[in-house]
Structure 1
Protein backbone atom coordinates (compact mmCIF):
# COMPACT_ATOMS: atom_id res chain seq x y z
CA UNK A 1 0.00 0.00 0.00
CA UNK A 2 2.81 2.43 0.86
CA UNK A 3 4.29 1.93 -2.63
CA UNK A 4 1.04 2.98 -4.32
CA UNK A 5 0.91 6.09 -2.09
CA UNK A 6 4.39 7.04 -3.20
CA UNK A 7 3.54 6.43 -6.86
CA UNK A 8 0.54 8.76 -6.57
CA UNK A 9 2.77 11.41 -5.04
CA UNK A 10 5.48 10.87 -7.66
CA UNK A 11 2.86 11.19 -10.39
CA UNK A 12 2.05 14.72 -9.18
CA UNK A 13 5.56 15.88 -8.14
CA UNK A 14 6.49 17.17 -11.58
CA UNK A 15 3.26 19.20 -11.80
CA UNK A 16 3.69 20.54 -8.29
CA UNK A 17 7.11 21.97 -9.14
CA UNK A 18 6.01 23.25 -12.55
CA UNK A 19 3.06 25.08 -10.97
CA UNK A 20 5.15 26.27 -8.02
CA UNK A 21 7.52 28.01 -10.41
CA UNK A 22 5.13 28.94 -13.23
CA UNK A 23 2.43 30.60 -11.10
CA UNK A 24 4.66 33.25 -9.49
CA UNK A 25 6.51 33.86 -12.77
CA UNK A 26 3.32 34.25 -14.81
CA UNK A 27 1.71 36.43 -12.13
CA UNK A 28 4.82 38.64 -12.00
CA UNK A 29 4.81 39.01 -15.79
CA UNK A 30 1.07 39.70 -15.99
CA UNK A 31 1.27 42.05 -13.00
CA UNK A 32 3.64 44.17 -15.08
CA UNK A 33 1.27 44.22 -18.06
CA UNK A 34 -1.24 47.05 -17.93
CA UNK A 35 -3.64 46.95 -20.85
CA UNK A 36 -4.55 50.63 -20.48
CA UNK A 37 -0.91 51.68 -20.66
CA UNK A 38 -0.49 49.49 -23.75
CA UNK A 39 -3.24 51.48 -25.48
CA UNK A 40 -6.10 49.00 -25.15
CA UNK A 41 -9.52 50.46 -24.45
CA UNK A 42 -10.43 48.42 -21.38
CA UNK A 43 -12.49 49.45 -18.42
CA UNK A 44 -10.69 49.14 -15.11
CA UNK A 45 -12.03 46.21 -13.12
CA UNK A 46 -12.17 48.40 -10.03
CA UNK A 47 -15.02 46.36 -8.54
CA UNK A 48 -12.73 43.34 -8.03
CA UNK A 49 -10.61 44.23 -4.94
CA UNK A 50 -13.44 43.91 -2.40
CA UNK A 51 -14.50 40.66 -4.07
CA UNK A 52 -11.08 39.06 -4.00
CA UNK A 53 -10.48 40.34 -0.46
CA UNK A 54 -13.74 38.66 0.56
CA UNK A 55 -12.58 35.46 -1.12
CA UNK A 56 -9.40 35.65 0.97
CA UNK A 57 -11.55 36.01 4.08
CA UNK A 58 -13.72 33.06 3.04
CA UNK A 59 -10.57 31.01 2.46
CA UNK A 60 -9.38 31.79 5.98
CA UNK A 61 -12.72 30.75 7.50
CA UNK A 62 -12.85 27.57 5.39
CA UNK A 63 -9.31 26.65 6.45
CA UNK A 64 -10.23 26.95 10.12
CA UNK A 65 -13.38 24.86 9.58
CA UNK A 66 -11.39 22.26 7.58
CA UNK A 67 -8.90 21.84 10.42
CA UNK A 68 -11.76 21.62 12.93
CA UNK A 69 -13.49 19.00 10.75
CA UNK A 70 -10.46 16.74 10.76
CA UNK A 71 -9.06 17.34 14.25
CA UNK A 72 -12.25 17.48 16.31
CA UNK A 73 -14.79 15.65 14.18
CA UNK A 74 -12.45 13.22 12.36
CA UNK A 75 -14.50 13.94 9.22
CA UNK A 76 -12.05 13.21 6.40
CA UNK A 77 -14.56 13.77 3.57
CA UNK A 78 -15.63 17.20 4.85
CA UNK A 79 -11.99 18.14 5.44
CA UNK A 80 -11.05 17.15 1.89
CA UNK A 81 -14.01 19.00 0.36
CA UNK A 82 -13.22 22.15 2.33
CA UNK A 83 -9.55 22.06 1.32
CA UNK A 84 -10.56 21.61 -2.32
CA UNK A 85 -12.84 24.62 -1.91
CA UNK A 86 -9.96 26.61 -0.36
CA UNK A 87 -7.79 25.76 -3.37
CA UNK A 88 -10.59 26.87 -5.72
CA UNK A 89 -10.96 30.12 -3.75
CA UNK A 90 -7.21 30.72 -4.03
CA UNK A 91 -7.31 30.17 -7.79
CA UNK A 92 -10.32 32.52 -8.12
CA UNK A 93 -8.52 35.13 -6.01
CA UNK A 94 -5.43 34.89 -8.19
CA UNK A 95 -7.39 35.23 -11.44
CA UNK A 96 -9.25 38.30 -10.17
CA UNK A 97 -6.11 39.83 -8.67
CA UNK A 98 -4.25 39.56 -11.98
CA UNK A 99 -7.26 40.80 -13.99
CA UNK A 100 -7.59 43.83 -11.72
CA UNK A 101 -3.92 44.74 -11.99
CA UNK A 102 -3.90 44.26 -15.77
CA UNK A 103 -6.74 46.75 -16.21
CA UNK A 104 -6.17 49.30 -13.46
CA UNK A 105 -3.60 51.89 -12.54
CA UNK A 106 -1.51 50.91 -9.53
CA UNK A 107 -2.75 52.17 -6.17
CA UNK A 108 -0.16 53.54 -3.77
CA UNK A 109 -0.56 53.28 -0.03
CA UNK A 110 -1.14 56.74 1.39
CA UNK A 111 -0.78 56.15 5.11
CA UNK A 112 1.98 57.91 7.02
CA UNK A 113 4.14 57.31 10.05
CA UNK A 114 4.39 54.01 11.90
CA UNK A 115 1.28 52.56 10.23
CA UNK A 116 3.05 52.81 6.87
CA UNK A 117 5.78 50.46 8.15
CA UNK A 118 3.13 48.10 9.50
CA UNK A 119 1.39 48.08 6.11
CA UNK A 120 4.58 47.34 4.18
CA UNK A 121 5.62 44.64 6.66
CA UNK A 122 2.26 42.91 6.26
CA UNK A 123 2.31 43.38 2.47
CA UNK A 124 5.84 42.05 2.00
CA UNK A 125 5.34 39.02 4.26
CA UNK A 126 2.00 38.37 2.55
CA UNK A 127 3.58 38.43 -0.92
CA UNK A 128 6.59 36.30 0.05
CA UNK A 129 4.48 33.69 1.82
CA UNK A 130 1.95 33.63 -1.03
CA UNK A 131 4.79 32.44 -3.27
CA UNK A 132 6.30 30.04 -0.75
CA UNK A 133 2.92 28.51 0.13
CA UNK A 134 2.21 27.17 -3.37
CA UNK A 135 4.35 24.00 -3.18
CA UNK A 136 3.41 23.50 0.48
CA UNK A 137 -0.32 23.48 -0.33
CA UNK A 138 0.12 21.24 -3.35
CA UNK A 139 2.39 18.70 -1.66
CA UNK A 140 0.22 18.63 1.47
CA UNK A 141 -2.90 18.14 -0.66
CA UNK A 142 -1.36 15.34 -2.73
CA UNK A 143 -0.17 13.55 0.40
CA UNK A 144 -3.72 13.71 1.72
CA UNK A 145 -5.39 12.37 -1.42
CA UNK A 146 -2.66 9.72 -1.71
CA UNK A 147 -3.51 8.48 1.76
CA UNK A 148 -0.08 9.28 3.21
CA UNK A 149 -1.80 10.71 6.30
CA UNK A 150 1.13 10.84 8.71
CA UNK A 151 3.30 12.68 6.20
CA UNK A 152 0.29 14.83 5.28
CA UNK A 153 -0.28 15.82 8.93
CA UNK A 154 3.40 16.55 9.47
CA UNK A 155 3.53 18.96 6.53
CA UNK A 156 0.06 20.39 7.24
CA UNK A 157 1.36 21.66 10.59
CA UNK A 158 3.57 24.01 8.55
CA UNK A 159 1.24 24.63 5.61
CA UNK A 160 -1.89 25.52 7.58
CA UNK A 161 -0.52 28.52 9.54
CA UNK A 162 1.25 29.88 6.47
CA UNK A 163 -1.86 29.57 4.28
CA UNK A 164 -4.04 31.06 7.01
CA UNK A 165 -1.58 33.96 7.40
CA UNK A 166 -1.67 34.63 3.63
CA UNK A 167 -5.48 34.56 3.57
CA UNK A 168 -5.91 36.82 6.62
CA UNK A 169 -3.21 39.30 5.63
CA UNK A 170 -4.76 39.53 2.16
CA UNK A 171 -7.86 40.93 3.82
CA UNK A 172 -5.81 43.23 6.07
CA UNK A 173 -3.82 44.60 3.11
CA UNK A 174 -7.06 45.30 1.26
CA UNK A 175 -8.60 47.06 4.26
CA UNK A 176 -5.49 49.18 4.72
CA UNK A 177 -5.16 50.25 1.07
CA UNK A 178 -8.87 50.49 0.15
CA UNK A 179 -9.20 54.18 1.17
CA UNK A 180 -6.58 55.01 -1.48
CA UNK A 181 -8.23 53.29 -4.45
CA UNK A 182 -9.16 55.64 -7.28
CA UNK A 183 -12.51 54.82 -8.89
Structure 2
Protein backbone atom coordinates (compact mmCIF):
# COMPACT_ATOMS: atom_id res chain seq x y z
CA UNK A 1 0.00 0.00 0.00
CA UNK A 2 2.84 2.42 0.87
CA UNK A 3 4.50 1.86 -2.53
CA UNK A 4 1.19 2.52 -4.26
CA UNK A 5 0.71 5.81 -2.41
CA UNK A 6 4.33 6.80 -3.16
CA UNK A 7 3.75 5.97 -6.82
CA UNK A 8 0.60 8.07 -6.80
CA UNK A 9 2.42 10.90 -5.00
CA UNK A 10 5.29 10.72 -7.50
CA UNK A 11 2.87 11.18 -10.36
CA UNK A 12 1.10 14.01 -8.53
CA UNK A 13 4.01 16.40 -9.12
CA UNK A 14 4.22 15.50 -12.81
CA UNK A 15 0.46 15.90 -13.25
CA UNK A 16 0.51 19.32 -11.58
CA UNK A 17 3.39 20.44 -13.81
CA UNK A 18 1.61 19.15 -16.95
CA UNK A 19 -1.67 20.72 -15.85
CA UNK A 20 0.06 24.10 -15.70
CA UNK A 21 2.37 23.72 -18.70
CA UNK A 22 -0.21 22.44 -21.21
CA UNK A 23 -2.60 25.42 -20.96
CA UNK A 24 0.35 27.84 -20.85
CA UNK A 25 1.94 26.24 -23.91
CA UNK A 26 -1.38 26.35 -25.78
CA UNK A 27 -1.83 30.04 -24.87
CA UNK A 28 1.72 30.89 -26.00
CA UNK A 29 1.54 28.82 -29.17
CA UNK A 30 -1.78 30.46 -30.05
CA UNK A 31 0.17 33.70 -30.44
CA UNK A 32 2.83 32.09 -32.65
CA UNK A 33 2.01 32.18 -36.35
CA UNK A 34 3.86 29.91 -38.74
CA UNK A 35 3.22 31.10 -42.31
CA UNK A 36 3.26 28.94 -45.39
CA UNK A 37 1.22 25.98 -44.17
CA UNK A 38 -2.39 25.27 -45.00
CA UNK A 39 -3.88 23.17 -42.24
CA UNK A 40 -7.44 24.31 -42.92
CA UNK A 41 -8.43 20.65 -43.30
CA UNK A 42 -7.84 20.01 -39.58
CA UNK A 43 -10.95 21.47 -37.85
CA UNK A 44 -13.39 18.81 -39.11
CA UNK A 45 -10.83 16.14 -38.21
CA UNK A 46 -10.29 17.32 -34.66
CA UNK A 47 -14.04 17.91 -34.24
CA UNK A 48 -14.57 14.29 -35.32
CA UNK A 49 -11.94 13.20 -32.81
CA UNK A 50 -13.94 15.01 -30.11
CA UNK A 51 -17.11 13.23 -31.21
CA UNK A 52 -15.39 9.84 -31.27
CA UNK A 53 -13.94 10.53 -27.82
CA UNK A 54 -17.42 11.26 -26.44
CA UNK A 55 -18.80 8.03 -27.91
CA UNK A 56 -15.88 5.95 -26.59
CA UNK A 57 -16.17 7.53 -23.14
CA UNK A 58 -19.82 6.47 -22.98
CA UNK A 59 -18.99 2.96 -24.23
CA UNK A 60 -16.17 2.80 -21.67
CA UNK A 61 -18.56 3.78 -18.91
CA UNK A 62 -21.02 1.09 -20.01
CA UNK A 63 -18.17 -1.43 -20.20
CA UNK A 64 -17.12 -0.89 -16.59
CA UNK A 65 -20.75 -0.95 -15.43
CA UNK A 66 -21.01 -4.38 -17.09
CA UNK A 67 -17.80 -5.67 -15.49
CA UNK A 68 -15.69 -5.49 -18.66
CA UNK A 69 -12.60 -4.03 -16.98
CA UNK A 70 -10.12 -4.67 -19.78
CA UNK A 71 -12.40 -3.13 -22.40
CA UNK A 72 -12.93 -0.12 -20.11
CA UNK A 73 -9.17 0.28 -19.59
CA UNK A 74 -8.44 0.02 -23.32
CA UNK A 75 -11.14 2.52 -24.21
CA UNK A 76 -9.92 5.03 -21.62
CA UNK A 77 -6.36 4.75 -22.97
CA UNK A 78 -7.70 5.33 -26.49
CA UNK A 79 -9.63 8.37 -25.25
CA UNK A 80 -6.49 9.81 -23.67
CA UNK A 81 -4.62 9.23 -26.94
CA UNK A 82 -7.43 10.84 -28.95
CA UNK A 83 -7.43 13.84 -26.63
CA UNK A 84 -3.67 14.22 -27.07
CA UNK A 85 -4.04 13.96 -30.87
CA UNK A 86 -6.81 16.56 -30.74
CA UNK A 87 -4.60 18.93 -28.79
CA UNK A 88 -1.69 18.62 -31.24
CA UNK A 89 -3.95 19.22 -34.26
CA UNK A 90 -5.80 22.08 -32.57
CA UNK A 91 -2.57 23.89 -31.73
CA UNK A 92 -1.08 23.19 -35.19
CA UNK A 93 -4.17 24.62 -36.87
CA UNK A 94 -4.17 27.76 -34.74
CA UNK A 95 -0.44 28.28 -35.27
CA UNK A 96 -0.94 28.31 -39.04
CA UNK A 97 -4.33 29.98 -39.39
CA UNK A 98 -5.99 33.19 -38.30
CA UNK A 99 -8.73 32.85 -35.72
CA UNK A 100 -12.25 32.72 -37.09
CA UNK A 101 -14.79 35.11 -35.61
CA UNK A 102 -18.25 33.78 -34.89
CA UNK A 103 -20.69 35.47 -37.25
CA UNK A 104 -24.03 34.61 -35.73
CA UNK A 105 -26.14 37.29 -34.08
CA UNK A 106 -29.02 37.55 -31.70
CA UNK A 107 -29.58 35.07 -28.89
CA UNK A 108 -27.61 32.31 -30.63
CA UNK A 109 -24.47 34.44 -30.24
CA UNK A 110 -24.87 34.28 -26.44
CA UNK A 111 -25.45 30.52 -26.64
CA UNK A 112 -22.29 30.11 -28.73
CA UNK A 113 -20.14 32.14 -26.34
CA UNK A 114 -21.55 30.37 -23.29
CA UNK A 115 -20.72 26.99 -24.83
CA UNK A 116 -17.29 28.18 -26.01
CA UNK A 117 -16.27 29.74 -22.68
CA UNK A 118 -17.49 26.79 -20.60
CA UNK A 119 -15.74 24.44 -23.05
CA UNK A 120 -12.44 26.33 -22.73
CA UNK A 121 -12.48 26.52 -18.92
CA UNK A 122 -13.48 22.88 -18.52
CA UNK A 123 -10.92 21.74 -21.11
CA UNK A 124 -8.24 23.23 -18.86
CA UNK A 125 -9.74 21.56 -15.78
CA UNK A 126 -10.07 18.17 -17.48
CA UNK A 127 -6.31 17.71 -17.90
CA UNK A 128 -5.50 17.10 -14.22
CA UNK A 129 -8.81 15.31 -13.65
CA UNK A 130 -8.11 12.76 -16.39
CA UNK A 131 -4.49 12.30 -15.37
CA UNK A 132 -5.25 11.86 -11.65
CA UNK A 133 -8.12 9.48 -12.46
CA UNK A 134 -5.83 7.47 -14.76
CA UNK A 135 -2.96 7.30 -12.24
CA UNK A 136 -5.32 6.09 -9.54
CA UNK A 137 -6.41 3.24 -11.81
CA UNK A 138 -2.80 2.42 -12.71
CA UNK A 139 -1.96 2.43 -9.00
CA UNK A 140 -4.85 0.00 -8.45
CA UNK A 141 -6.49 2.48 -6.07
CA UNK A 142 -9.88 1.72 -7.55
CA UNK A 143 -11.82 3.19 -4.61
CA UNK A 144 -10.17 6.57 -5.20
CA UNK A 145 -10.32 6.08 -8.98
CA UNK A 146 -14.09 5.56 -8.94
CA UNK A 147 -14.66 8.55 -6.67
CA UNK A 148 -12.74 10.90 -9.00
CA UNK A 149 -14.06 9.26 -12.18
CA UNK A 150 -17.59 10.26 -11.14
CA UNK A 151 -16.47 13.88 -11.51
CA UNK A 152 -14.09 13.43 -14.43
CA UNK A 153 -16.35 11.48 -16.79
CA UNK A 154 -19.24 13.95 -17.14
CA UNK A 155 -16.84 16.88 -17.54
CA UNK A 156 -14.78 15.02 -20.14
CA UNK A 157 -17.93 14.07 -22.07
CA UNK A 158 -19.13 17.69 -21.88
CA UNK A 159 -15.80 18.98 -23.22
CA UNK A 160 -15.80 16.43 -26.05
CA UNK A 161 -19.42 17.13 -27.08
CA UNK A 162 -19.14 20.91 -26.79
CA UNK A 163 -16.00 20.74 -28.94
CA UNK A 164 -18.15 19.31 -31.72
CA UNK A 165 -20.90 21.86 -31.11
CA UNK A 166 -18.44 24.79 -31.21
CA UNK A 167 -17.02 23.46 -34.49
CA UNK A 168 -20.48 23.05 -36.01
CA UNK A 169 -21.51 26.54 -34.94
CA UNK A 170 -18.38 28.28 -36.22
CA UNK A 171 -17.72 26.20 -39.36
CA UNK A 172 -19.93 28.34 -41.63
CA UNK A 173 -17.63 31.30 -40.85
CA UNK A 174 -14.31 29.66 -41.81
CA UNK A 175 -12.77 31.52 -44.74
TM-score (norm 1): 0.94
Quote the residue 1:51 is aligned against.
Answer: 45
Pairing of 1:74-93 with structure 2 (within 5 A): 74-93=67-86
Deviation for aligned residue 1:121: 0.2
RMSD: 0.8
Query: Structure 2 CA distance, aligned partners of 1:127 and 1:68?
Result: 27
Pairing of 1:2-151 with structure 2 (within 5 A): 2-36=1-35, 42-71=36-65, 73-151=66-144
Quote the residue 1:158 is aligned against.
Answer: 151
Query: Structure 2 CA distance, aligned partners of 1:152 and 1:144?
Result: 6
Q: Deviations over 1:118-170 (max 9, x none)?
A: 00000000000000111110000000111100110000000000000000000
Tell which deviates more after alignment, 51-60 or 75-84: 75-84
Q: Deviations over 1:70-97 (max 9, x none)?
A: 01x2111111111110000000000000
Runs of 4 or more consecutive aligned structure 1 residues displaced over 2 Å after TM superposition: none
Deviation for aligned residue 1:44: 2.3
Structure 2 residue ranges without an equivalent (≥5):
none
Query: Structure 2 CA distance, aligned partners of 1:79 and 1:162?
Result: 18
Deviation for aligned residue 1:8: 1.9
Aligned residue pairs, count = 175
Q: Deviations over 1:31-87 (max 9, x none)?
A: 111123xxxxx122000000000000000001001111101x211111111111000
